[in-house]
Each structure stands twice: as C-alpha cells, then as structure tokens.
Structure 1
Amino acid sequence: MHDASDEPLPTLPPRRPESHKGDFGRAMIVGGSRGMAGAVAMAGMACLRSGAGLATLGVPRCIGPVVAGFCPAYMVRELVDDDPGVLYWANLFDLAPLEHDFDVWALGPGLGEPEQTAELSGRMNREWNAPLVIDADGLNGVASYEERYASEPLIPPGPRVYTPHPGEFGRLVGHDALAEKAVGADADRVEAAGEFASRDPGGNTVIVLKGHRTVISDGRQYAINTTGNPGMATGGSGDVLTGVITALIAQGLTTFDAARLGAHVHGLAGDLACDRLGAVSMTAVDLIDSLPQAFVQLSAAG
C-alpha cells in the first residue's frame, strides 16, 4: 500500500462570496436512543462546526425534544422507536425514499443495543448507494447483522467509512488473527485496516482504525494520524469524529480524504483543548468548542 502520511493534507475548496447553505452539503445523522441522546447531538454539532451547510438528526421520537434542545442549528426528524427507546428497523421504509435527499448519511452515535438495531444498520450498509459513515453501535449492528442474516460476502454498493476502535474492529472481522493486529504496532494496524478494506472488491470502503496514531486506509493507500492526546479518551470523542468526517464528505471530499483530514482536525481540536484545559478535565464538548480554532489554524498553515 502507498503511504500517504507525509503528503499534504486534503483541503476544502474556498467559499465563494455568493455561496448558500446548500453549497456545503446536506447531512443526515441517524442515531440516539433512550439514555444516549447526547451522542447523536454531539455528532450533529460537530458536523455543523466542520462546515456542513445543513444537518438533520434522525432520532427515536422518545428523545426528539431532548436532542432538539441541545442545539438550535440542526434539524431533528423523529423516527419510530420501540419500547426500549431504540429505533425500529421498519424506519427503513420511511428513510429509503430520502436516501438521495442528503449528500451523506451517518449511522451509529448512541444508536443502542446492536441486537435490536442490527437489521436497520445491516440493511442500510448493504442496500444504500449514498455515502455512509458508520460508527459505534452502528458498527456493532452491522457485525451482528452479518453474523445472523448475511448469506453472501459484504459488498457495499456505495462509499463507506467505518470508524471502529479495536474492539469494534474485532467484531467486524470476526475475532480472527486480523483482529489481534488491530492492537499491535503501527505496521500491524496498517496491515489490519488495509486488509479489511481490501475485502470490498468495489473499493468503496475506508477504515478509520481509531486509537493512538489512528490509521486510515482504503486498501490501496493509508495514512497514520499524529494529532491527538490522552485527554481525548473520553465518552463522546468518537461521536465528534463521526460528525467531522460526515461534514467533510458533505462538502465534496472523497471518503479517504475526508477520513484523513477529519482524523487530523479531530486530533488537532483535542490538542488545542488540552492546551487550554489539561488532559484530565477534557470532555467531548471541549473538542467541538475547539473545532473552529482548529480549522482556522489549518487555513493559516495552508
């Protein structure tokens, strides 16, 4: 694989004076469940802070008002939920006609128990042509769906960005020898991410293998991210990354470029927050608050 780690970072196109919000993409983030409203809300706020023109959050109706109360800048679409307060798989019938109304979809932040959301996650992943960023419970749902229902190898029909930590990566690959490499040295992690991405014969899959020195790979090239710090090891940090990558795809970057730039910006925001607050007291909200400064710093460096 080609090592792109030291190549110049991807850049967003300049904003024309006559631009309007539609020029910067429409994103839909599906997630949330009873007790985990904050995850999808933080993904939505990070998406807007990273430049998406419009962000809509598809959430269980039981948490709709709570999610809407976090931020007035995104829109909330209430979806059908079941008794435990998680999204019901039949929402697919209502969401499918909207697939191409959005430039990119994200799935997973706070989605809830994978056994209950497996069909929603697995079918979106297998059936949708639209770009799709899948994180957290969405990844666990995909893994559960593939294990329980799939009879043929997974070939995503459209662009995918999977953002697993090593545990989620292990569930995706089936806890084989490849999963062990996800917790190894850089070379092992690069091999693990690249080999899993290469299982997609269509070349649509990008893996963001999270952790210290996050690895981004599409099976043909890879990059190792060097920004970030231990203060980012806090609940919600991954949800913020999902929002950042989703916004960059909405603005026209390829999935690999969006994942690479997104990991860098996410880590840079963490470094800026750490400088201000210290590693011990950082929260994921501090990452969102530091995104503007991170983008300004990138622009100045470019």
Structure 2
Amino acid sequence: MIMEQEQAVICITHLPIVPHRRDDGHKGDYGHALVVAGQVGMSGAACLAGKAALRGGAGLVTVATPISIQPTIAAYEPSYLTLGLPETHGAIGFGALEAIHRALHVATAVAIGPGLGTAEPARQIVRALYRSLPIPMIIDADGLNVLAASGDDLSRDSGAGARIMTPHPGEFARLTGETTATIQAAREKFANEFARRHGLTVVLKGKETVVTDGYRMAINTTGNSGMATGGTGDVLTGLLTALVAQKLPPFEAAQLAVWLHGRAGDIAAEKHSQPGLIASDLLDYLGSAWLEIGA
C-alpha cells in the first residue's frame, strides 16, 4: 500500500529487495565497509559496529580505531580487519585523516562516529570526510555531535557521495537547534524537512523509527524497549554501512537496516526478556531476522 503524504512524501509499507548473493560470488562482490570508531573507554562501540557490518553481509570490514585499543578490538572478532590510527590521549589524533585516506581506495561505504569523541582531531576528520568523501558515508553518535557544533552549514562538495545520518532524538535536537520535546512531538515533519533541506537520508531513531530522504518516508514497526540500552545504535550503524557497501541505495538500505535491527531485538527479547537484552544479543539474532525475509 502506498499513501500520499504532505509535501509529496510517500509512506512505503514493504521492505526493499534483499541484496542478491550469487552462487559463485566472492567477498569482493559484497563491498568493503570502513568503520571509523572508538577511543579508550569506548572500544565496545567499535567492536559492535564492526561485527554488525559483518552480520549485514559486507564482504570485508575494516575497523579504524586509535592504535592503543586496536588489539582489544581485533581480539573481539577475528573476521574483520583493523587499522590502527594515530592518537592523542587515547582518542583519534592528528595524522589519522591521512591514514584513513590511504584505506579509502578499497572502501565502498564509510561509517564514522561511534565512540569517537569530539576532540579537535576528530572534529577535523568528521568535517573533512563529510564535506568531500566521494563514497557513501553514515554518520552516527559523536560524528553527529561534531556536525551539530558546526551550525547549519552541512554543505558538501559537488563530488561528495550520499550521506545518511542516524540520530536519536537528542542528537537530532542538537542538529536542528530544537528541543528534544519539540522533535518528539513532530518526528516525521522535522526528519522530512531536514533531509530535504540538506539532501541526505535521515534515520530518526526511537519507537517507530522514521526513515526519510525528504521525498519518501518509511515508519519502522519492529523493535522494543529492551533495545533502549547502550550499544544498540552502534549495531545499527554497522548493519546499515554493510548494506550501503553492497550498493543498496541509501533510503532502501536504511529502511531494511532498521527493520532487521528491530526484528533481531524482538527475537532477542523473546529469548532473554526486554530487561535482560544487551546490544551484543542483536548480533546473535540478526541471522534469524535475515532468514525471516528469505535471505
């Protein structure tokens, strides 16, 4: 069913087609997700996002993180690659941008922000990549906080790739200059207007997550309050990055990612209860969610 909405927004109630995997496919066919994340004390964010990108079907995943926590992140999951970045006081440091640029020649999508911090080196990296990176970029957490501090200047170079933002209501309030209560009172309206004004895709998280590119809108129906726990947003970031890395268009990738993410949370809650659910449980049940849609 398709319903016309105000400002030519279309609310789509079916899921996009799952990325096809050929019988003779190899890892190079399914994209390379680069996840820039983590600092001392926040290594879990990088671990969760990296493993979620693997569970999202990316052929290769590299987690770029401050060099002092690289061994911790590598030990969490042997299936992704890691890239140690220059650091300052345990956080991403000056010189990291050059290292990231050297890794970009193989990446097909980049995520930035989970656990990253907002010190000056991180701010410079987020702004530089946001403005000019020619491949799709998913911005979450501290990446959003950096951009919010930049004011309303979210312009990009003409050759920049697609941009997807995944804010929770508080982050979105900082991006828009509104209060969280104001955002929550009109979630669809604010997400749609922001996406259209800045030419990007917005995933406004929360109950009935809103996905919009300013012209189309999808309201997610999966998920539960047990997912209101640290790290679940990092899982969504990695999952979404994997889908975009596999060349799924941004709006469709976001719509599929939030459904899978929420469904994994629903299955996890059935097994462990809502109070007992933790973010890493989602990683264990993403496979079950994929199977429900015939993947």
The TM-score normalised by the length of structure 1 is: 0.90
Q: What's the secondary structure of 2:17's corresponding residue?
A: coil
Q: CA deviation at 1:116?
A: 5.5
Contact 2:165/2:201 (8 A) holds in 1: yes
> Which amino acid letter does the alignment assign opposite residue 235 of structure 2?
V
Separation in 2 of the partners of 1:68 and 1:116?
23
Match of 1:88?
93
Find the residue that maps to 1:199 and give its secondary structure: helix
Q: What residue number does 2:75 align with? A: 69
Q: Does 1:3 align with 2:10?
A: yes
The structural deviation recorded for 1:180 is: 4.6
Q: Which residue of 1 aligns with 2:125?
A: 120
Match of 1:155 in 2: 156
Where 2:138 maps in the other structure, the secondary structure is strand
Whole-angstrom CA distance in 2 between matches of 1:115 and 1:227: 37
Q: Is the 8 A contact 2:130 2:156 kept in 1?
A: no
Q: Distance in 2 between matches of 1:217 and 1:295?
A: 22
Displacement of 1:276 in angstroms is: 0.8
Query: For 2:231 and 2:65, how far apart are their aligned partners in 1?
Result: 17
Q: Structure 1 CA distance, aligned partners of 2:75 and 2:103? A: 24
2:171 is equivalent to residue 168 of structure 1: yes
The Cα of 1:133 is off from its aligned counterpart by 0.5
- Give distance in 2, aligned partners of 1:153 and 1:14: 34
Gaps of 5+ in 2: 1-7
- After superposition, the C-alpha distances for 1:138-159 in whole angstroms (9 at most, x for unaligned) are 1112222x14xx8x55236220
Which amino acid is 2:277 matched to?
M
* Aligned partner of residue 218 in structure 2, secondary structure: strand
Cα 1:229–1:153 shift into 2, 3 Å: closer
Residue of structure 2 aligned with 1:140, choices 134, 141, 145: 145
Counterpart-to-counterpart distance in 1, 2:28 and 2:154: 37
CA distance in 2, matches of 1:113, 1:119: 9
Code of the residue aligned with 1:21 in structure 2: it is: K
107-116 vs 251-260, greater mean Cα deviation = 107-116
The structural deviation recorded for 1:89 is: 4.1
Q: What is the aligned partner in structure 1 of residue 84 from structure 2? A: 78
> Please, what is the CA RMSD of the aligned residues?
1.7
- 1:170 and 1:120, CA in 2 relative to 1: closer, same or farther beyond 3 A? same
Superposition pairs of residues 236-255 of structure 1, within 5 angstroms: 236-255=231-250
The verdict on how the C-alpha distance between 1:114 and 1:211 changes in structure 2, with shifts beyond 3 A counting, is: farther
* Gap regions ≥5 residues in structure 1: none
Q: TM-score, normalised by structure 2?
A: 0.92
How far apart, in 2, do the equivalents of 1:94 and 1:13 lie? 30
Distance 1:171 1:240, change over 3 A: same
Q: Percent identity of the aligned residues?
A: 43
What pairs up with 1:135-284 in 2 under 5 angstroms? 135-144=140-149, 146-147=150-151, 154-155=155-156, 157-173=160-176, 175-176=177-178, 180-184=181-185, 188-200=186-198, 203=199, 205-284=200-279
Q: Is the 8 A contact 1:181 1:192 kept in 2?
A: no
8 Å CA contact 1:114–1:141 kept in 2: the answer is no
Residues 1:287 and 1:294: Cα distance change in structure 2 (over 3 Å): same
Displacement after TM superposition at 1:182 (Å) = 2.0
Q: Is the contact between residue 5 and residue 225 of structure 1 (CA under 8 Å) also seen in structure 2?
A: no
Instruction: Find the aligned partners of 1:9 and 1:282 in 2 and give their Cα distance.
Output: 25
**Alignment-derived partner of residue 296 in structure 1:** 291
* Alpha carbons 1:182, 1:189 under 8 Å: kept: yes
Tell whether the 8 Å contact from 2:132 to 2:156 is kept in structure 1 after alignment.
Answer: no
What does residue 28 of structure 1 align with?
A: 34
Tell me the equivalent position of 2:3.
none
> What residue number does 2:4 align with?
none
Whether 2:25 is the aligned partner of 1:19: answer yes
Question: How much does 1:130 deviate?
Answer: 1.2
